[in-house]
C-alpha cells in the first residue's frame, strides 16, 4: 500500500507507503541539534507559565487521533497529549520504560509481556491499567486500513491478554520484533477506554482522551489546536528532564503555509516556533539567526527520499545495467548542496542516518558519470546527436509522475542528461498520479516513510507483506526472495547483532539491485525564538514539550 501525494506543495509533502522495533544499538551518524543551548545543556532555571505559540506548515490529513494519523505535524501534537508504553532515545535508539516499567519477549518475538506503571491516570480521571492497554491495541488493530501506520506496526497481531491490572501480554501469530519500537510511537499510544467508544471519525476530529502532559481542548483541522497542561502529570519517561507537570500553561498551534509569513511572525514575536515541512532555506536561516532565533535540525528517521524503479515488461529499467548506470549517474553531494545548502547531509542509505541499524553505503552511491556511460554502452544504448541515448530507434526515456515539479526534480533531470538519460517529469493531478502508479505506468516514483526502525524498509518493499507498486514493480523474483528473507530475519529475533546483519544486507540489496535510488536525507528544521528554552526532538523528530519553558 502507498500513500499518494495529496495536494502537495512539493514532492516532500507527504509520506508514501506502509510498514511494519526493538531495543537498539547506537545510531550511525545521528543528526542532532544545530545550535541552541536549550537542547544541549541550558543551565538557566526554568520558569513556569506562558503559552507556547507554534506554527506548522499544513494539516492535509485533517485528523488528530494518534492511532489513525500519519501526518507528521499532527503526530507532534499527539506526542504532547498521549503517552506510550515505551519511549525511544533519540541519540541511541534504545527503547526505555514509560507507561510500562519493564517487559520480556519470547525467543521468536511473538509474545511481549509488559509490567505497567501504577498511579497513571487519563485526563478524565480514569485509571491506566492492563485493560486500557488491551482496549487500545484491539481498537487500533480493528481500524485496519484507517490506521495506515498501525496496520503495519501490528502486523501479525493476534490478541492482548490481561494477566492482572499491572501485567499484560501481547501475542502475535507471526514474529514481529519491530513491535517493541512500535510501542514507543504515537501510533500505538494508549488512549482512555472511553475514547474507543467514539467513532473513528469523531476521534479524528478531536474526541480523544490521553494520559499526556497536556490535554487537547480543541482542534480544527488545518486551522488550529489548543492544548492545556495537566497539573497532576507525573509519569514521563526517563528521557525527560522535567519529571513533573509541564512548565508551559498551554500550547497554541496554527498552520501557516507561506514560509515568508511564518518566518516573519517568528521574527516579530507573534509565534515562538516556526516548523515548516521543507527545510528552512540557508538564506532564511541566516536572517532568523541574525534576529536572535536559533535553528534546530534532526533527520526524520525511516526511509530517505528515494526513487523506486519499475522493472516490469520491456521498460528501460528492466535491464539491470541501466539500473546500475542510473545509480551512478546521480550526483548526490551536488544535489544536497544545490537544492538545500553547502553542508546539508548527503544521503548514505535507503534509510536516514537517524534510523537504528542504518549503514553507510556511500561507496555504492558514489557519483561516477564515466562508469554510468560505460554501463549504458554495454547495455546497447548509443549516444545520439542530441546527447540522449537510443537503442533500436527508441530514446532512453524514464517517466516520473509528479503532482508538482521543483528545483530538485529539474536538477536531477539535468544530471541524468549528462549520462544520456531523458528523465521526463510528468506533472499530473492527484487522481492521475494514483491511476498511473496503480497501473504501473511509470519508470520511477518517489517515496519515503518516517519510522525510527529499519523494518520500515520491508514494509514498503517486501512483496510478502505488501502489494504496493513500490514492491511488486521494483524487483525480479530473485531480488524479491532476498528482500523477503532479510526482512523476515529482522523480525524473527530481538538480538541486535542478528537484526543489524539482516538490515545491513537489506540496505545493500535495495541499492545494488536498483530497487531504490536514494536521493536526499529529509531534515526536520525548526526555527526557535530566543525566549524558548528546553526544546527537544523525539526519536522520530517530533516535538517533546515537557522541558520547554518561556522567558517571561
Residue 258 buriedness (CB in 10 A; 0-12 / 13-18 / 19+): exposed
In three-state secondary structure terms, 453 is: coil
Q: Tell whether 16 is covered by a domain.
A: no
Judge whether residue 534 has pLDDT over 90.
yes
Write down which residue in 172, 202, 232 finishes a domain.
202
Calculate mean pLDDT across residues 279-289: 96
| Residue 419 sits in the same domain as residue 546 | no
The model's confidence at residue 326, banded by pLDDT at 50, 70 and 90, is: very high
Closest CA to 192 of 173, 175, 178, 212: 212
Calculate mean pLDDT across residues 208-214: 98
| Residue 451 sits in the same domain as residue 508 | yes
Count how many residues are written for the chain: 552
Q: Tell whether 21 is covered by a domain.
A: no
Calculate mean pLDDT across residues 464-481: 95
| Residue 247 sits in the same domain as residue 330 | no
Question: How far is it, in rounded angstroms, from Cα 234 to Cα 246?
Answer: 9
DSSP, residue by residue, 83-129: --SEEE-TTT--EEESSEEEEEE-TTS-EEEEEEPSS-B-TTSPBP-
Judge whether residue 260 has pLDDT over 60.
yes
CA distances from 251 to 164, 535, 543 (A): 37, 13, 12
User: What does the block give as the cell for 45?
Assistant: 532555571
Write down which residue in 170, 202, 234 finishes a domain.
202
Calculate mean pLDDT across residues 208-219: 98
Calculate mean pLDDT across residues 430-440: 96
Q: Tell whether 19 is covered by a domain.
A: no
User: What does the block give as the cell for 129?
Assistant: 491499567
| Residue 164 sits in the same domain as residue 85 | yes
Residue 481's contacts (CB-CB under 8 Å, 6 or more residues apart) are none
Q: Tens digit of pLDDT for each residue in 493-514?
A: 999 999 999 999 999 999 999 9
Look at residue 2 in the predicted model and tell me its pLDDT.
32
Q: Tell whether 25 is covered by a domain.
A: no
Calculate mean pLDDT across residues 314-331: 98
Write down which residue in 202, 234, 252 finishes a domain.
202
Judge whether residue 128 has pLDDT over 90.
yes
Instruction: Compute φ and ψ for 287, nearest 5 degrees.
Output: -65, -45
How much is the pTM?
A: 0.91
Residue span of the structural domain in which 190 resides: 65-73+81-202
Judge whether residue 6 has pLDDT over 50.
no
The model's confidence at residue 284, banded by pLDDT at 50, 70 and 90, is: very high
Question: How far is it, in rounded angstroms, from Cα 154 to Cα 144?
Answer: 10
Q: Tell whether 468 is covered by a domain.
A: yes
Question: How far is it, in rounded angstroms, from Cα 312 to Cα 173?
Answer: 33
Look at residue 30 in the predicted model and tell me its pLDDT.
35
Calculate mean pLDDT across residues 487-493: 95
| Residue 148 sits in the same domain as residue 91 | yes
Q: Report yes or no: 410 and 417 within 8 Å, Cβ to Cβ.
A: no
Number of domains in the chain: 3
Q: Tens digit of pLDDT for each residue in 30-58?
A: 333 333 333 445 778 999 999 999 999 99
Q: Which of 32-46, 123-137, 537-551 has the lowest mean pLDDT?
A: 32-46
| Residue 489 sits in the same domain as residue 529 | no
| Residue 507 sits in the same domain as residue 416 | yes
Question: How far is it, in rounded angstroms, from Cα 311 to Cα 385?
Answer: 27
Residue 286's contacts (CB-CB under 8 Å, 6 or more residues apart) are none
Closest CA to 80 of 239, 249, 229: 229
CATH number at residue 536: 3.40.190.10
Q: Within 10 Å of residue 241's Cβ, how many Cβ atoms?
A: 12
Look at residue 41 in the predicted model and tell me its pLDDT.
56
Give the dihedral sign, CA 341/343/348/349: negative
Q: Tell whether 1 is covered by a domain.
A: no
Question: How far is it, in rounded angstroms, from Cα 521 to Cα 349?
Answer: 9
The model's confidence at residue 552, banded by pLDDT at 50, 70 and 90, is: confident
| Residue 498 sits in the same domain as residue 441 | yes
Residue 510's contacts (CB-CB under 8 Å, 6 or more residues apart) are 350, 457, 461, 483, 516
Q: Tell whether 243 is covered by a domain.
A: yes
Please name every residue paired with 56 in a beta bridge, in sequence order, or none if there are none: 255, 275
| Residue 291 sits in the same domain as residue 338 | no
Question: How far is it, in rounded angstroms, from Cα 195 to Cα 207?
Answer: 7
Judge whether residue 517 has pLDDT over 90.
yes
Look at residue 43 in the predicted model and tell me its pLDDT.
78
Side-chain half-sphere CA neighbours of 163 within 13 A:
11
Going edge to edge, which strands form the sheet with 100-105? Answer: 100-105, 111-116, 167-172, 157-164
Residue 269 buriedness (CB in 10 A; 0-12 / 13-18 / 19+): exposed
The secondary element (H helix, E strand) that includes residue 164 is strand 157-164
| Residue 307 sits in the same domain as residue 448 | yes
* Residue 195 per-residue DSSP state: G
| Residue 472 sits in the same domain as residue 368 | yes
Q: Report yes or no: 352 and 521 within 8 Å, Cβ to Cβ.
A: yes
Q: Tens digit of pLDDT for each residue in 62-71?
A: 999 999 999 9
User: What does the block give as the cell for 275?
Assistant: 516548523
Look at residue 32 in the predicted model and tell me its pLDDT.
37
| Residue 291 sits in the same domain as residue 380 | no
Task: Give strand ranges (E) for 334-466.
Answer: 382-383, 389-391, 394-395, 397-402, 422-427, 444-450
The model's confidence at residue 529, banded by pLDDT at 50, 70 and 90, is: very high
Question: How far is it, in rounded angstroms, from Cα 550 to Cα 27?
Answer: 31
Q: Within 10 Å of residue 231's Cβ, how many Cβ atoms?
A: 10
CATH number at residue 345: 3.10.105.10
Q: Tell whether 7 is covered by a domain.
A: no
Show contacts of 409-414: CB within 8 Å, 24+ apart.
Answer: 409/11, 411/334, 411/335, 411/338, 411/339, 412/330, 412/335, 412/519
Instruction: Compute φ and ψ for 382, nearest 5 degrees.
Output: -95, 150
Q: Tens digit of pLDDT for each residue in 369-404?
A: 999 999 999 999 999 999 999 999 999 999 999 999
Closest CA to 307 of 149, 151, 421: 421
What average pLDDT does the structure give for the chain? 92
Q: Report yes or no: 307 and 448 within 8 Å, Cβ to Cβ.
A: no
Closest CA to 188 of 131, 150, 239: 150
Instruction: Compute φ and ψ for 323, nearest 5 degrees.
Output: -65, -40
Amino acid at each position: 500500500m502507498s500513500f499518494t501525494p495529496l495536494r502537495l506543495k512539493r514532492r516532500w509533502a507527504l509520506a508514501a507507503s506502509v510498514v511494519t522495533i526493538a531495543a537498539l544499538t547506537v545510531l550511525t551518524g545521528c543528526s542532532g541539534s544545530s545550535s541552541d543551548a536549550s537542547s544541549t545543556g541550558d543551565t538557566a532555571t526554568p520558569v513556569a507559565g506562558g503559552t507556547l505559540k507554534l506554527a506548522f506548515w499544513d494539516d492535509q490529513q485533517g485528523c488528530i487521533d494518534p492511532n489513525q494519523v500519519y501526518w507528521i505535524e499532527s503526530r507532534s501534537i499527539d506526542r504532547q497529549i498521549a503517552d506510550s508504553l515505551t519511549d525511544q532515545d533519540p541519540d541511541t535508539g534504545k527503547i526505555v520504560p514509560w507507561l510500562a516499567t519493564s517487559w520480556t519477549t519470547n525467543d521468536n518475538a511473538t509474545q511481549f509481556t509488559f509490567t505497567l506503571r501504577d498511579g497513571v491516570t487519563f485526563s478524565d480521571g480514569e485509571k491506566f491499567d492492563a485493560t486500557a492497554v488491551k482496549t487500545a491495541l484491539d481498537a487500533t488493530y480493528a481500524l485496519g486500513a484507517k490506521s495506515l501506520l498501525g496496520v503495519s506496526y501490528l502486523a501479525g497481531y493476534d490478541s492482548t491478554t490481561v494477566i492482572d491490572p499491572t501485567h499484560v501480554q501481547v501475542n502475535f501469530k507471526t514474529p514481529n520484533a519491530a513491535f517493541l519500537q512500535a510501542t514507543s510511537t504515537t501510533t500505538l499510544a494508549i488512549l482512555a477506554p472511553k475514547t474507543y467508544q467514539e467513532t473513528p471519525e469523531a476521534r479524528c476530529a478531536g474526541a480523544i482522551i490521553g494520559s499526556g502532559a497536556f490535554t487537547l481542548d480543541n482542534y480544527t483541522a488545518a486551522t488550529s489546536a489548543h492544548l492545556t497542561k495537566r497539573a497532576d502529570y507525573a509519569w514521563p519517561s526517563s528521557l525527560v528532564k522535567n519529571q513533573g507537570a509541564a512548565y508551559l500553561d498551554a500550547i497554541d498551534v496554527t498552520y501557516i503555509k507561506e514560509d515568508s509569513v511564518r518566518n516573519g511572525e517568528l521574527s516579530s514575536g507573534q509565534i515562538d516556533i516556526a516548523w515548516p515541512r521543507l527545510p528552512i532555506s540557508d538564506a532564511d536561516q541566516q536572517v532568523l539567526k541574525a534576529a536572535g532565533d536559533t535553528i534546530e535540525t534532526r533527520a526524520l528517521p525511516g526511509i530517505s527520499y528515494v526513487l523506486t524503479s519499475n522493472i516490469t515488461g520491456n521498460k528501460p529499467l528492466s535491464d539491470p545495467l541501466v539500473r546500475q548506470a542510473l545509480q551512478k549517474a546521480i550526483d548526490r553531494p551536488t544535489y544536497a548542496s544545490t537544492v538545500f545548502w553547502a553542508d546539508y547531509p548527503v544521503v548514505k542509505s535507503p534509510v536516514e542516518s537517524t534510523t537504528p541499524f542504518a549503514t553507510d553505503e556511500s561507496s555504492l552511491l558514489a557519483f561516477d558519470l564515466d562508469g554510468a556511460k560505460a554501463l549504458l554502452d554495454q547495455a546497447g544504448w548509443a549516444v545520439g546527436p542530441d546527447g540522449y541515448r537510443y537503442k533500436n530507434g527508441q530514446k532512453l526515456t524514464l517517466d516520473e509522475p509528479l503532482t508538482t515539479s521543483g528545483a530538485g526534480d529539474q536538477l536531477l533531470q539535468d544530471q541524468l542528461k549528462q549520462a544520456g538519460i531523458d528523465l521526463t517529469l510528468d506533472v499530473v493531478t492527484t487522481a492521475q498520479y494514483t491511476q498511473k502508479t496503480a497501473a504501473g505506468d511509470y519508470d520511477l516514483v518517489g517515496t519515503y516513510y518516517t519510522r525510527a526502525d529499519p523494518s520500515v524498509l520491508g514494509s514498503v518493499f517486501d512483496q510478502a507483506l505488501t502489494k504496493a507498486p513500490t514492491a511488486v514493480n521494483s524487483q525480479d523474483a530473485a531480488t524479491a526472495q532476498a528482500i523477503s528473507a532479510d526482512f523476515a530475519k529482522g523480525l524473527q529475533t530481538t538480538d541486535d547483532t542478528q537484526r543489524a546483519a539482516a538490515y545491513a544486507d537489506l540496505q545493500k540489496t535495495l541499492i545494488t539491485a536498483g530497487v531504490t535510488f536514494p536521493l536526499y536525507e529529509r531534515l526536520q528544521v525548526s526555527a526557535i525564538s530566543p525566549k524558548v528554552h528546553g526544546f527537544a526532538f523525539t526519536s522520530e523528530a517530533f516535538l517533546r514539550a515537557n522541558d520547554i519553558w518561556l522567558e517571561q
